[in-house]
Amino acid sequence: MLMNKNETTLETHRVYPDLTLNILTRKEHSISRKQISENALKVLYRLQGAGFEAYLVGGGVRDLLLGETPKDFDIATNATPEQIRQLFRNCRLIGRRFRLAHVMFGRDIIEVATFRGHHQDSNTQVSVKSEAGMLLRDNVYGSIDEDAERRDFTINAMYYDISDYSIHDYAGGVEDLDERLIRLIGDPEKRYREDPVRMLRAVRFAVKLDFDIEEETAAPIENLAPLLQSIPAARLYEESLKMLQSGYGLETYHQMREYNLFQQMFPVISAHFTEDYSSPTEQMLDLALDSTDMRLESGKRINPAFMYAAILWYPVVHLADSLMEMEDLCYHDAVMEAGNRVLDQMVKTIAIPRRHTTTIREIWQMQLRFLRRHGKRAFRLLDINKFRAGFDFLVMRGQIEGGETQKLAEWWDTFQSAGRKMQQGMINNLGRAGTRSAKLYRSRKPVPKKKKQGNPPS
């Protein structure tokens, strides 16, 4: 990947004085403007034309050097967010913790960030840290050199200069690309404390790129993993989608679990973990995430609600069994109550949106309704909007549970593709077995009536 390096030592006042700047000329790298989004080029050239520095940065540069097509093209500049907004009518400013500019071209959004600086004053309007060292507000602006030091990983600290088509590599990112390593810039423990989500990013990049996490970068993760509990639930929801619904969910889950990260994000689920990965909860995790990966690989759409419904199901069933005993509920009511409690606990860690929790409950309720097939009930279920999602989940349950659940899934598989006469015959053959489930509709224990006390005999 590299030819000759033009190496220049950075100034000694740097926070990370071991960083060196390598400038790769156009002849020394493989990136061409033809590979860069037309809208990203428009933003780069307009910023440069207005007298500002402008670079393609981060994952876009990394992926192009790896021969991949970037999902996003992010830009770094010395223009402030307000100056960027003045240049682009189609711009909006977002973020409080990190102030960013989004330049919008229809559905295509080019993210533009101002160079980050170091925290050298106590101005709470631009910079706030928690007692544990976590950055709560971070709108300190600086130079490109400081911005490079503020980047998380070496492979994300490379800048493509549109003015001469060179690449500015500040932290040995090109070398780490060659060696397929994920390496943090600076002291790993300090960087993780500044933003614990960097631990998740390390795992995500390692899985996505098929890289190894460098030894010193990996060492503190397991012990510092509980820091994730201080991250806002809304942010962890977005991170959970990146981790588990990016096409590498199964491998990412296993890596997260190895580093004690999954346990922090999903305590409701991790309570059911075993040493040999044999519990129904763990089997469902493998099955659901593998299914999600295959759907993404084949270009099919996915719904986060389905994944959450699947991986939370057995914790719900376990709690429902307890509620049946402790509160003497029938199975149907116990599952619905357990589902509410599990979701209430889950959203404290990961803020699953209400539109998804509603769908999750519908998928769970379908599992109970599949048992009721007599009369016109089976025909009515076929017309329900969530039938397919509920059925797909029933099939997965059948693979794990076998027995009656698997037979039920096979019955519904045949029923939905059969002709009307055959469907009616299948219902008639059910007899009384298809009318109700004793477990599903078990009544509460009758309360013994008190004997009427009449007048005592004279």
> In 3-state terms, what secondary structure has residue 53?
coil
Q: Taking residues 283-293, report their average pLDDT.
A: 97
Q: List pLDDT tens digits, range 265-285.
A: 999 999 999 999 999 999 999
Q: Which of the following is catalytic: 74, 147, 169, 195?
A: 74
Helices 403-417, 387-401: crossing angle, 10 deg rounding = 140
Domain 22-119+137-179 maps to which CATH number in 3.40.50.1820, 3.30.460.10, 3.40.605.10, 3.60.21.10? Answer: 3.30.460.10
pLDDT of residue 119: 54
Q: List pLDDT tens digits, range 22-34.
A: 999 999 999 999 9
- Establish whether 152 is a catalytic residue: yes
- Establish whether 74 is a catalytic residue: yes
- Establish whether 176 is a catalytic residue: no
Phi then psi dihedrals of residue 182, to 5 deg: -100, 115
Q: List pLDDT tens digits, range 357-398.
A: 999 999 999 999 999 998 899 999 999 999 999 999 999 999
Instruction: Enumerate residues 6+ apart whose C-beta is below 8 A from 239.
Output: 197, 200, 265
Q: Taking residues 88-95, report their average pLDDT.
A: 92
Domain 280-431 has CATH 1.10.3090.10: yes
Percent of the chain with pLDDT over 70: 85
pLDDT bin (cut points 50, 70, 90) of residue 96 is: confident
pLDDT of residue 142: 87
Angle at 138 between CA 135 and CA 139, to 5 degrees: 175
Q: Which of the following is catalytic: 152, 161, 169, 293?
A: 152
Where are the domains positioned within the chain? 22-119+137-179, 280-431
> In the chain, what's the furthest Cα-to-Cα distance?
118
Angle at 114 between CA 111 and CA 115, to 5 degrees: 125
- Mean pLDDT, rounded, of the chain: 88
Is 0.85 topped by the overall pTM?
no
pLDDT of residue 125: 44
Q: List pLDDT tens digits, range 318-339.
A: 999 999 999 989 999 999 999 9
